[in-house]
Structure 1
Amino acid sequence: MKTQSERLGSEPIPKLLWRLSVPAMIGMIVMALYNVVDTIFIARGVGIIGVAGVSISFPVMMIMMAISGAVGIGGASVISRRLGSNRAEDANEVLGNILIMVIAVSVISFIGAFTFVEPLIRLFGATDEMLPYATDYIFPIMVGSIFFTFAFTSNNIIRSEGNARFAMITMIVPAILNIILDPIFIFGLDMGVRGASLATVISQASVTILVIRYFTSGKSTLQVGLQYLRPNFRLMREVIGIGLPAFVRQVGGSAMMIAINAMLIRFGGQFEVGVFGIVQKVTMFTIMPMLGVLQGMQPIVGYNYGAQQYARLREIIWLGLRVATVMSTIVFIVMMVIPHYFMMIFTGDEATIETGANALRIMYMAFIVIGAQIISGGLYQSLGLAKPALILSISRQVMFLIPLVLILPYIGGLGVTGVWLAFPIADGLAFILTVVLLYRDRHLFFKKGEDDGVYQEVPQS
């Protein structure tokens, strides 16, 4: 087993979390940045109607991310525990079955691009005016879904073996390329929204080449070979079962987007949908550092749980919760004080800035508790505990946020403000549920083991 994987069970926890989380945070922030840049160029090159069209089509992309996330996160959990138990051949077989699932999903998406994409966009709430922009954006992404799905899935797998640095590279390379290609396609070639979409597909295709070379060059702890590309439906069920919470969370996010867009159109109009398209990008950017901490934690948790090193497991849980809570508190303060500066990045229109800043202040009122929610949901996934992970995954968006979005606008004439208020209320309710589950399962996370207090250093490579 390579040193990058052995460190998961021996290097001091704070140093290890730093080593794995910082690259993940950098990579995710850069990825969020290119999503932000996409929206900036579309807003300034096409207008708020272009942003509204992308916002309407985004649930389709979120469904693709949901499937990729289920396969990637579920596979990463299984692989890290196999490596922790010193079962390298089994881990290789898991990787082979993940590749089979990625190909199957990509074929379905490719066919869908030519058959049902327009009816799907209309189902998600597109008006006649928004429809051309929405289809222009999502069609190339569905056609090139093999690159998108493979890149998203493989990033989780690379992190599961402890190689956070290369996982970071696989996020930074497409982000930078996308940022370079956006103005060329949108402005230089006058392709509008479709130009932004093509830039995304090309950037993901570039990283696919890097990842394939990584797995075939011997740099990975895992091995790719024809002998591992045999369907094993028991393994597939295990991967999908553990990844199901990630799938439900993303699909819930897609359903949330549909519900929000529908209510914004009903009580406001296309302008409010466009504003939410910008607000959503800001939210994505602020949540990425906490997701980076989670991504750094997950291989450590899975490996040490598989190796029955429970003292290390306890330490990484507490450290991750503290770090994520500090981050969410900082974001809360910033959003209460200067939300308008984030809107000004995207547009100079005073009405858009004012509406978006007001929405951000309301939506972030309970953001302090977000960090604990993110860490806890990922913690259950890392341990292979699918049921509580599923409950936490659907709690905020499906159990609380969507019903609140559909109800609050009708109460007391709240209208669009009710849509924004649904976010902090859902955050508070989801946090209460998180605390209840963590307290119930404290015996799993904080069990005693023979390794208590024992740490080892490994040679630096």
Structure 2
Amino acid sequence: MDERSRMLADEKIGKLLFKLSLPATIGMLVQAFYNLVDTVFVGRAYGTESIQAIGGIAVAFPIQMIGMAVSLAIGIGGASIISRRLGEREQKKADKIFANLIFLSLFSSLLITGVGLLYIVPLLKMFGATDTILPYALEYMGVILSGTVLFSLAMVTNAVARAEGNAKVAMKSMMMSGGLNVILDPLFIFGFGMGIKGAAIATVLAQAIGVIYIAHYFLSGKSTLNLYPADLRPDSKIIKEVLEIGVSPFARNVSGSFMVIILNNLLAFYGGDIAIAVFGIINKLLMFTFMPMIGIVQGLQPIVGFNYGAKNFERVRESVKLAIIITTGMSIAGFLLLYLFPEQLFGIFSGDHQLIVEGKYAVRIVVLATPLVGFQVVGGALYQALGKARPSLFLSMCRQVLFLIPLVLILPKYLELFGVWAAFPLADTLAFAVTLFMVIREFKLLAEKGENMIIDPVEGNLPALGN
């Protein structure tokens, strides 16, 4: 057993989760920060046209989410399998899975780029771009689509690095790209006078540096995994298993994009460009709030996957419980920040008084159930790490498809714009209730499996499982 495997199998859960989650959390915070910075610089660069420019990024973002959804499906699905194969001491299988993930990343991202650029105008209009917002969205999205392959490779390889227990590499890659983006943004937006297009160019160039760094890590032999050219040949069995597990985050992000189609069109009808811009900013703020939680579950996944593969079910339960406590604390902190300081936060993006007033009103409604989100994030990640595709898919679809989309369609008919904002806390509350029920049931199953694994050391060859 190598050093990383011993760490996942034996190290104290609190210390292990901290060690794996801290780099991922820092990396996700950096990513969220540079997403915020993009919008802040663009808003400040356009002055009186800031509402339309921010709206351009807002309607472009759900198209980016579709690309992210595919990459997350590949990365999270593959990472879950790799961590379990490493737990089962199946090194060759893990190597082959890794190579297939690279193939899937390249193939899917090039396909998305081609289709996206071909249909960019109708896509942006479908996602709610008004005539005044469309020119800004076109400038931004044209460049972003061209860099899809870089975003995809970064997400997939970072997930794999975390799966083998080397979260620091993923963190450094994300920090490089995020930090460089923050530096390049003002240079391209203001220095070169490129405006919103400059923000997109800065993002793509920064992502390229992160990809170069993590590619060097895998190709230099520092990774537990090996990349063999022969393994790049697609294996239908591996691809099927990856996509079965990855369908959960894919469904969550695609349903989120579908929801934004409905939402932006409703916002345009009930509130115009300013409502779309408000939602765009709220999305960025919520992302900054949720990203640290994603970092926790990224650190959690290899622990759960490895120990589930090694049949150490008590460690699985202990790590999930700790992650729930941490993410719930983060959820509460995020809620307090957004609820108590909305004017100050919106003021960072734009000096437009009406935008700030509308934003303050909307965000205080949207975040009412945010303290419940941390539990939902861990609940969904649990099933992904265990390789249970169906319940993971159900939880991923639960909030967006079962609750949020119907509520967004129904409530505005009676409550107009308020109904759009009120749909969010109602959907979060209902999704929390469903997740709670399913996680309690899963914990009982894990406890039963743990009891069945306890064999007398004198008569059997398995010791009683402990921490």
TM-score over 0.5 for the pair: yes
On the 8 A contact 2:169/2:214 being kept in 1, the answer is no
**Matches of 1:336 and 1:37 in 2, distance apart?**
21
**Matches of 1:179 and 1:331 in 2, distance apart?**
23
Residue 311 of structure 2 aligns to which amino acid in structure 1? Q
What corresponds to 2:28 in structure 1? 28
**Matches of 2:403 and 2:116 in 1, distance apart?**
32
What corresponds to 2:460 in structure 1? none
Counterpart of 1:169 (choices 160, 172, 191) is 172
**Matches of 1:4 and 1:344 in 2, distance apart?**
45
What corresponds to 2:442 in structure 1? 441
Percent sequence identity is 45
> CA shift at 1:113, angstroms?
4.2
On the 8 A contact 1:34/1:178 being kept in 2, the answer is yes
What corresponds to 2:233 in structure 1? 230
**Matches of 2:203 and 2:464 in 1, distance apart?**
47
Alpha-carbon spacing, 1:217–1:52, altered in 2? closer, same or farther (3 Å): same
On the 8 A contact 1:96/1:224 being kept in 2, the answer is yes
Q: What is the root-mean-square deviation of aligned Cα atoms in Å? A: 1.4
**Matches of 2:12 and 2:377 in 1, distance apart?**
23
Residue 422 of structure 1 aligns to which amino acid in structure 2? A
Counterpart of 1:370 (choices 361, 373, 380) is 373
Structure 1 residue 400 corresponds to structure 2 residue 403: yes
More displaced, 337-346 or 420-429? Answer: 337-346
Residue 36 of structure 1 aligns to which amino acid in structure 2? L
What corresponds to 1:265 in structure 2? 268
Q: TM-score, normalised by structure 1?
A: 0.96
Counterpart of 1:332 (choices 331, 335, 339) is 335
What corresponds to 1:128 in structure 2? 131
On the 8 A contact 1:373/1:434 being kept in 2, the answer is yes
What corresponds to 1:186 in structure 2? 189
On the 8 A contact 2:314/2:446 being kept in 1, the answer is no
Residue 34 of structure 1 aligns to which amino acid in structure 2? Y
**Matches of 2:129 and 2:270 in 1, distance apart?**
15
More displaced, 51-60 or 431-440? Answer: 431-440
**Matches of 1:2 and 1:219 in 2, distance apart?**
13
Residue 335 of structure 2 aligns to which amino acid in structure 1? F
**Matches of 2:340 and 2:237 in 1, distance apart?**
51
> CA shift at 1:353, angstroms?
1.5
**Matches of 1:452 and 1:329 in 2, distance apart?**
38
Alignment of 1:342-421 (within 5 A): 342-411=345-414, 414-421=415-422
What corresponds to 1:13 in structure 2? 13
Q: How many residues align structurally? A: 453
Residue 185 of structure 1 aligns to which amino acid in structure 2? F
**Matches of 1:369 and 1:127 in 2, distance apart?**
34
More displaced, 344-353 or 180-189? Answer: 344-353
What corresponds to 1:155 in structure 2? 158
Counterpart of 1:293 (choices 288, 293, 296) is 296
* Cα deviation 1:42-101 (Å, max 9, x = unaligned): 111121211101111111100000000000000000000000000011000001111111
Structure 1 residue 100 corresponds to structure 2 residue 119: no
On the 8 A contact 1:112/1:142 being kept in 2, the answer is no
On the 8 A contact 1:378/1:389 being kept in 2, the answer is yes
On the 8 A contact 1:335/1:361 being kept in 2, the answer is yes
What corresponds to 1:250 in structure 2? 253
**Matches of 2:164 and 2:37 in 1, distance apart?**
31
Q: TM-score, normalised by structure 2?
A: 0.94
Counterpart of 1:215 (choices 218, 229, 244) is 218
Long gaps (5+) in structure 1: 456-461
**Matches of 1:329 and 1:110 in 2, distance apart?**
38
Alignment of 1:33-182 (within 5 A): 33-46=33-46, 47-182=50-185
> CA shift at 1:452, angstroms?
5.6
On the 8 A contact 2:117/2:145 being kept in 1, the answer is no
Residue 427 of structure 1 aligns to which amino acid in structure 2? D
Long gaps (5+) in structure 2: 455-462
On the 8 A contact 1:109/1:143 being kept in 2, the answer is no
Residue 20 of structure 1 aligns to which amino acid in structure 2? L
Residue 29 of structure 1 aligns to which amino acid in structure 2? L
**Matches of 2:215 and 2:202 in 1, distance apart?**
21
Look up the SS of the partner of 2:349 in the other structure: coil
Look up the SS of the partner of 1:162 in the other structure: coil
